[in-house]
Structure 1
Amino acid sequence: MRDTLIKAAMAIIATIAAAASSPSRAQEMDGKALFLKNCAACHQPTGKGIPGAFPALAGNKFVQGQGSEVAAVLLKGRGGMPDFSESLSDRDIATVLTFVRSNWGNKADGLNEAEVGALRTSLGVDPFGNTAMSNKH
């Protein structure tokens, strides 16, 4: 009896943990919509990019790496990549990155709004355009 209860509890905990770490259906749909609106023109709807011009996000090691580094690119821009600090909220950035980091063969954890907000603050990125150095979109 005790073993059965322990197994049931472990199954419940595993289910809750999986649900907490994976994006909800609504969040995934929001992420996809944000991606199509803001990113797909360059990175393509398939996430495969355009060779020699715009990098693929599908199966991309950087995209699957440290989430804060990926978010920093959206907040400050890099090279030909514009920043989205004024056009996307912390929630939007977290949502689109969660979508990108969990699709096209990518298997990285998503980010949440609080993480992006803390990163925005630590980078000194003002959502109202008073950022010292960035690559404006």
Structure 2
Amino acid sequence: MKDPRIVAMLMAAAAGLCAAPLAGAQGPAQAPAGKALFLRNCAACHQASGKGIPGAFPALAGNPLVQGPAPEVASVLLQGRGGMPDFSASLSDEDIAAVLSFARGAWGNKAPPLAGEEVGTLRTRLGVPQYANGRMSNKH
């Protein structure tokens, strides 16, 4: 049985993956990695355009949380929030920093990038287990 809402969300996600390239505000080495990580891990829900899917997945473009204090937005990726899973076991501190730096500088967002060390410090402070580094995980 097919739910038309799910089909519509999947079609919108696929269309979002085909959107035009986006520019990030991080350094040259981090920008391509952050964008690639975003497209692989986040765009299906939040869309390549950063506009999300209304009523299902929030927009990241213009989002005050995304542009707010780095620890607040990083904790979402480390611990999850609402229906969003955490990425603590599947993304390294450097990967989380890169994807957040991309999102904080794309789509007109104007927030400073993060460093992997900042994410690592927050991971320790929150008591989130260290990155699995390739070990099997059932999260994604």
TM-score by length of 1: 0.77
Structure 1 partner of 2:15: none
Distance in 2 separating the partners of 1:55 and 1:128: 26
The letter of the residue matching 1:120 is R
Structure 1 partner of 2:69: 66
Q: Is 1:81 the counterpart of 2:99 in the alignment? A: no
The letter of the residue matching 2:43 is A
2:93–2:131 contact (8 Å) kept in structure 1: no
Q: Is 1:31 the counterpart of 2:14 in the alignment? A: no
Quickly say closer, same or farther: Cα 1:46–1:119, change in 2 above 3 A. same
Structure 1 partner of 2:119: 116
The letter of the residue matching 2:49 is T
Query: Where do residues 42-53 of structure 1 align in structure 2 (5 Å cutoff)?
Result: 42-53=45-56
Q: CA deviation at 1:114?
A: 0.5
1:92 paired residue among 71, 95, 115: 95
Q: CA deviation at 1:39?
A: 0.2
How many percent identity over aligned positions? 68
Q: CA deviation at 1:128?
A: 5.3
Structure 2 partner of 1:19: none
Q: After TM superposition, which residue ranges in structure 1, 4 or more long, deviate above 4 angstroms?
A: none
Distance in 2 separating the partners of 1:85 and 1:121: 11
The letter of the residue matching 2:80 is G
Structure 1 partner of 2:136: none
Q: CA deviation at 1:23?
A: 1.6
The letter of the residue matching 1:41 is A
- The structure with more radius of gyration: 1
TM-score by length of 2: 0.75
C-alpha root-mean-square deviation of aligned residues, in Å?
1.3
Structure 1 segments unaligned to the other structure (5+ residues): 1-21, 130-135
The structure with more helix, counted as a fraction of residues: 1
Structure 1 partner of 2:4: none
Query: What is the aligned length?
Result: 110
2:91–2:131 contact (8 Å) kept in structure 1: no
Q: CA deviation at 1:126?
A: 0.3
Structure 2 segments unaligned to the other structure (5+ residues): 1-24, 133-138
